Structure 1
Amino acid sequence: MKRLVTTALLMAAATAHAQKFDGLADTPQMGWNSWNKFGCDINEQLIRDTADAMVKNGMRDAGYRYVNIDDCWHGKRDENGNIQPDPQRFPSGIKALADYVHARGLKLGIYSDAGNTTCGHKPASRGREYQDARTYAAWGVDYLKYDWCDTEGLSAKGAYTTMRDALRAAGRPILFSMCEWGDNKPWEWAQDVSHSWRTTGDITACWDCELSHGSWTQFGVLNIMDKTAALRKYAGPGHWNDMDMLEVGNGLTPDEERAHFSIWAMMTSPLISGNDLRSMSAETLKILTNRNVIAVNQDKLGVQALRRIAQGDLEMWIKPLDGGDWAVMFLNRGERTLDYRHDWQKYALADDLSKHEADLKKTRFRWTDLWNGAGGDTAKPLDVKLKPHSVLMLRLKAQG
């Protein structure tokens, strides 16, 4: 009995000091997730083909690393309570799939839920957190997306902290992505619990809309941007505001796709593509692999952009970058083309939250358009023509 009590106390002490794994999301995570395009219609061949496509099309080399299986991979639990993959959809098992993905220089992600069942009504992890975490580690999983369905009576902070501790106890470094939809203000308490947390309900492929499903709501690109804008002080290396998976390639216009990708990059959201990588257009691939825009997202300062100007449908967002550079984005939210002249010397680049500032009256910056490569400098005003639902995204570098 004394040995049992001692063991229990040691386990309790270890749990009390457990932390998420460091170094897994010093910059926002990048990858792919099955849900937006495929929902529950998934199988191991899709995951293998997606990993192959990510290598072949250059996404891996552009920084995308995680191939994430979302809901509905689950089969039943075995006689010992260990979760098993669906034998029809994943006959080779998750370990073999992880080995396949790892052999291509990529990482495998998986999905579970803090409640009794997942959003797709599959077995979830409530009460089996440590058992499931050990299973994921044994399979070679690198990423866990953890949802919030069927959680009546649960404390969000308690449930997510339990899974964090379980992942730590399992011993394998696994990036922990909370999908709690912002219901319990995770940005206020999850910095030491997870590597990212969702700020809103699910995204949908529209520019500016809300789609109610009764008990839950989906949001368009601008809606998620607006809801996340006020949370910038909570984002930083290792702990990110997650604005949900990207809808690039899922039905937005090309201008909307470029704007969507630019906004997510500026706001340091994880870049998790949600389209079919096996059959996307060359234009969609070009957007997803724009290394200049990706570099803004992956900047090691990790400062979420500030909305500097809001004048009707026109907005200007600024983001300080490592080495004294700045990213600047002009956004047209509206339905008509906007002509705008921006006087650089009238609006200082200043962010009192991150304590970065540049006086353009004293320092000249050279700017580069991150979508078409055009250039100029801040010595003269910038004439901007923005089509509806589009952006101009620039990187500014001080001239010596």
Structure 2
Amino acid sequence: MGKENTMNRRAKGTFLAAALAAIFPLAYGSIERPSLLPTPPMGFNNWARFMCDLNETLFTETADAMASNGLRDAGYNRINLDDCWMAYQRADNGSLQWNTTKFPHGLPWLGNYVKAKGFYFGIYEDSGNLTCGGYPGSYHHEELDANTFASWGVDYLKVDGCNVYAMHGRTLEEEYKHRYGHWHQVLSRMEHPLIFSESAPAYFAGTENRTDWYTVVDWVPVAGELARHSTDILVYSGAGSAWDSIMNNYNYNTLLARYQGPGYFNDPDFLIPDHQGLTADEKRSHFALWASFSAPLIISAYIPALSKDEIAYLSNKALIAVDQDSLAQQATLVSRDDTLDILTRSLSNGDRLLTVLNRGNTTVKSDIPIPWLGLTGTGCTYTAEDLWDGSLQKISSHIAVQLATHATAVFRISLPQACSKVVPTGLVFNTASGHCLTASSSCSVTFQSCNGQASQIWQVTSSGALRPLSQTAQCLTVDDGSVKIQACDTRGSNAQKWTYAVTGNLKNAKTGGCLTEGSVQMKTCLDERNGQVFGLPSGVQLS
């Protein structure tokens, strides 16, 4: 099941294409053409900071500031407009018009301005008849609008999902699939397709029954290049906790690693570095976590007023290199308890990433064992680089961390050639309940609250076996209909072979059934049911 160094991206793309060919029969999916967006986008968007309070001056000042303060040269090379840029009425020929009070020189002029400063130009529309702000949506105008945007110099399009209603007997999920699928076909037929940022999954997030949400996040990787999967990050003027908002979107992102690869990126929404509700450590954590995910790094802030410290952490070359790594693998959970989240992933040169988040309210110290990182070498010494300050340390048994409240540590670990083997290692958890698969000394397995113990950390072997770090000679086994751990069969028993689908199902080779949360049982594989969708470690090959 698991290729023991990197995910087999070709296999993943083939699976998605085959499964979704009926949805988009006339076009090919972006995850199959990663050249359009091989690494996640970086840049600026006005929404979280300014919402509808946008105008020409905001964007020219932003472009000027990013060109002079180092952000553009650090990789933030996109200037994107969000909602409320347009006039309330279309022109007589049906085309969109910009608000001439807000943009007196016009959007083609603005596009030329930001391009002259070294930026790409992006824009916003909606798949409904109205945008979220009440301006003309693109429903029934998709091809006209796409060509209009291209004529203005736009190469990046965010399509929102407000004011979408089920039509022609379709369910609401089917309606979104129809509309975003049509957008995909329109863009794919263009001589120079626009990068397609989708918002469809966000409109199904937050429900107790996640079947529709799971279904939408299944098809968006073929329809576009990135998709916003959950609620908006807290806007500057909004009520509530900015840190809680970041953690909400972070938690959603941990559920979706299996979908990401070069050409398609899970989007947990904007970076908000000047939000008045965040501490310095929370701002740095926000950036470090998004970089560890290889998530889009789109800043929504008043760029000219960012402090030197904010510019410095946003320009961190080592973390940006992680975000832009060509493997595009998303960090996944190795361990979680009431305080610490530990995540790992592989990088394209064979290095291993370790990210540690303190979600608690006090300073914590922890020693993280090397086997938790998927490193199996005996007697090996590794070099760990702290990506915040560049310091190096040699590690052989564990790596020590000390973190203030809401702080995040990130280490890039170099593997000697003789110790370069990596086995995908981490949590097997239900993405609806958050409960972790747990092995006991009595050979039983249960789903429990995640507790940071080795009994909840699983290795996934290349033969498709799952074995807990607490008992590596034992493998997850189906025996007479029950699920337990038994001595690993070196002959490769089908009862110990599991396949992992892009839908999140863990299917047993002997029974053909799927692991199901409850009393840990095997049941008939169903379509995107809460009890059968699991997150697994990064590096596990999808069937």
Could you list the per-position Cα deviations for residues 82-117 of structure 1 after superposition, in whole angstroms to 9, with x for gaps in the alignment?
A: 100001001111111111111122100000000011
**1:159-238 equivalent positions in 2, closer than 5 A:** 159-180=179-200, 181=202, 183=204, 184-185=213-214, 186-204=216-234, 220-238=245-263
- Residue 354 of structure 1: aligned partner: none
Does the C-alpha gap of structure 1 residues 94 and 170 become closer, same or farther in structure 2, counting only changes over 3 Å?
A: farther
- Residue 142 of structure 1: aligned partner: 155
Does the C-alpha gap of structure 1 residues 126 and 88 become closer, same or farther in structure 2, counting only changes over 3 Å?
A: same
**8 Å contact 1:142–1:174 — kept in the other structure?**
yes
Shift of 1:44: 1.1
Q: Which runs of 4+ in 1 moved over 6 A?
A: none
Matched, 1:349 2:373: yes
Residues of 2 paired with 1:55 and 1:173: CA distance? Answer: 26
Could you list the per-position Cα deviations for residues 313-353 of structure 1 after superposition, in whole angstroms to 9, with x for gaps in the alignment?
A: 01211111011101101110010111222332xx2423xxx
TM-score calculated relative to the size of structure 1: 0.88
Shift of 1:306: 1.3
Matched, 1:70 2:82: yes
Matched, 1:114 2:127: yes
Matched, 1:48 2:48: no
- Residue 17 of structure 1: aligned partner: 26
Could you list the per-position Cα deviations for residues 188-219 of structure 1 after superposition, in whole angstroms to 9, with x for gaps in the alignment?
A: 0122210001110111179xx9969xxxxx96
Could you list the per-position Cα deviations for residues 22-41 of structure 1 after superposition, in whole angstroms to 9, with x for gaps in the alignment?
A: 42311111111010111101
Residues of 2 paired with 1:219 and 1:175: CA distance? Answer: 30
Matched, 1:37 2:46: no
- Residue 257 of structure 1: aligned partner: 283
Could you list the per-position Cα deviations for residues 271-305 of structure 1 after superposition, in whole angstroms to 9, with x for gaps in the alignment?
A: 11111111111111111111101111111111111
- Residue 9 of structure 1: aligned partner: none
Residues of 1 paired with 2:282 and 2:291: CA distance? Answer: 14
Residues of 2 paired with 1:125 and 1:205: CA distance? Answer: 25
- Residue 311 of structure 2: aligned partner: 285
**AA of the residue aligned to 1:195:** E
Residues of 1 paired with 2:98 and 2:244: CA distance? Answer: 31
- Point out which structure has higher relative CO (alpha carbons under 8 A, 6+ apart): 2
- Residue 247 of structure 1: aligned partner: 272
Does the C-alpha gap of structure 1 residues 82 and 71 become closer, same or farther in structure 2, counting only changes over 3 Å?
A: same
**8 Å contact 1:360–1:378 — kept in the other structure?**
no
Matched, 1:158 2:178: yes
Shift of 1:138: 0.8
Does the C-alpha gap of structure 1 residues 298 and 182 become closer, same or farther in structure 2, counting only changes over 3 Å?
A: farther
Does the C-alpha gap of structure 1 residues 297 and 210 become closer, same or farther in structure 2, counting only changes over 3 Å?
A: farther
What SS does structure 1 have at the residue aligned with 2:411? strand
**8 Å contact 1:134–1:167 — kept in the other structure?**
no
Shift of 1:20: 5.7
Shift of 1:16: 4.4
Matched, 1:387 2:411: no
Which one has a bigger Cα radius of gyration? 2
Does the C-alpha gap of structure 1 residues 265 and 205 become closer, same or farther in structure 2, counting only changes over 3 Å?
A: farther
**AA of the residue aligned to 1:32:** F
Shift of 1:51: 1.2
**8 Å contact 1:348–1:359 — kept in the other structure?**
no
**AA of the residue aligned to 2:341:** E
The match for 1:370 among 381, 387, 392 is 387
Could you list the per-position Cα deviations for residues 108-133 of structure 1 after superposition, in whole angstroms to 9, with x for gaps in the alignment?
A: 00000000111111111011101101
**8 Å contact 2:380–2:396 — kept in the other structure?**
no
Residues of 2 paired with 1:275 and 1:26: CA distance? Answer: 26
Residues of 1 paired with 2:306 and 2:148: CA distance? Answer: 34
Shift of 1:171: 2.6
Could you list the per-position Cα deviations for residues 224-247 of structure 1 after superposition, in whole angstroms to 9, with x for gaps in the alignment?
A: 111221211011111111001112
Q: Aligned pair count?
A: 371
**AA of the residue aligned to 1:167:** L
Shift of 1:70: 0.4
**8 Å contact 1:29–1:272 — kept in the other structure?**
yes
**8 Å contact 1:366–1:396 — kept in the other structure?**
yes
Shift of 1:383: 2.7
**8 Å contact 1:203–1:219 — kept in the other structure?**
no
What SS does structure 2 have at the residue aligned with 1:331? strand
What SS does structure 2 have at the residue aligned with 1:260? helix
Shift of 1:258: 1.0
- Residue 26 of structure 1: aligned partner: 38
- Residue 301 of structure 2: aligned partner: 275
Residues of 1 paired with 2:25 and 2:229: CA distance? Answer: 27
Residues of 2 paired with 1:260 and 1:360: CA distance? Answer: 32
What SS does structure 1 have at the residue aligned with 2:305? coil
Could you list the per-position Cα deviations for residues 132-187 of structure 1 after superposition, in whole angstroms to 9, with x for gaps in the alignment?
A: 01100111101101100011125111111111222233433311000121514432
Residues of 1 paired with 2:378 and 2:158: CA distance? Answer: 46
What SS does structure 2 have at the residue aligned with 1:324? coil
Gapped runs of 5+ residues in structure 2? 1-23, 168-174, 205-212, 418-543
**8 Å contact 1:49–1:278 — kept in the other structure?**
yes
Residues of 1 paired with 2:203 and 2:259: CA distance? Answer: 13
What SS does structure 2 have at the residue aligned with 1:119? coil
- Residue 113 of structure 2: aligned partner: 100
- Pairwise CA RMSD: 2.2
Residues of 2 paired with 1:239 and 1:311: CA distance? Answer: 30
Matched, 1:87 2:100: yes
- Residue 7 of structure 1: aligned partner: none
